[in-house]
Structure 1
């Protein structure tokens, strides 16, 4: 087991890149907490409230949440529910450039040295993996996946570029075995 240099990670990548899988593997090995914005939004969407219906519509259309709302969820976690020394992975917390800027500013203010871990896969690989998960079974589902990939290219790439600009981006080759992806993450984040 490597000695990781960073206790705060922000996971980025296309749908199907393996962010959740790698987050779980790191959590099991290094006792990271995993905070998934997507899980939080899905829980909100299940409520029979105005907010629940609004969030449900956005989730079901494969779109990204407004940056201010995603930022609020992230800030609430950091400010109200995170101990200073708790290792954490934020999965889906910086999917737009304004969110990335906010994440960077908040984590710096709270003196949490971090790395943005970008698991890179091709669109074709993303479609294949999502198909194997059973997330594409008809034309409407295929269009939903394409909507998610389009949103990724339009919104997430600028966030990735921001993390690169501020020197916190770590790129991982995602088209290898889960174990090899994990080993590359460990290697690039080790002291």
Structure 2
């Protein structure tokens, strides 16, 4: 499975977008809105391992956002329960991450393995690729595409209210090799996250 996101010129931070992608037994719902309480809904049926989904929308006339979800037969992601919710939100995971309100955010509940995430910049060129080995039951993986520099990747414990920060010096990029899975501890507040290196 690969996930591609492309963010166009959303010029004002006050532009609010809320989209929700739900994968439920072959049915995908895409919701987004330019203000609280306003949204449009699109249903895409017949989704299987060979389906490619592209959904586009304009936001307040100031920017264009494209979300493309590609499900490939060669590298399937199997979810252990339904419904599986892939959430795209406006708020950063924590204010410290510094993401813009218009940044797309995708949440993948575990368990799953073999997830590949490809992030495209506003001009359409590839910025980063992350291959993630495994996320266990009760955990989730979160991708916060906050800028055209690099996406944020979060691994958290869905059963804990908060998890602690991973070790990161705040200034350098690094890669997460396939198969690596950081441990999640709920002893301290914060969120465990990674920034993907340039490819």
**Shorter-chain-normalised TM-score: which range?**
under 0.3
**Comparing both chains, which one has the higher relative contact order based on Cα–Cα distances under 8 Å and sequence gaps of 6 or more?**
1
Larger strand share, 1 or 2 = 2
Larger helix share, 1 or 2 = 1
* TM-score computed with the length of structure 2 as normaliser: 0.26
* TM-score computed with the length of structure 1 as normaliser: 0.26
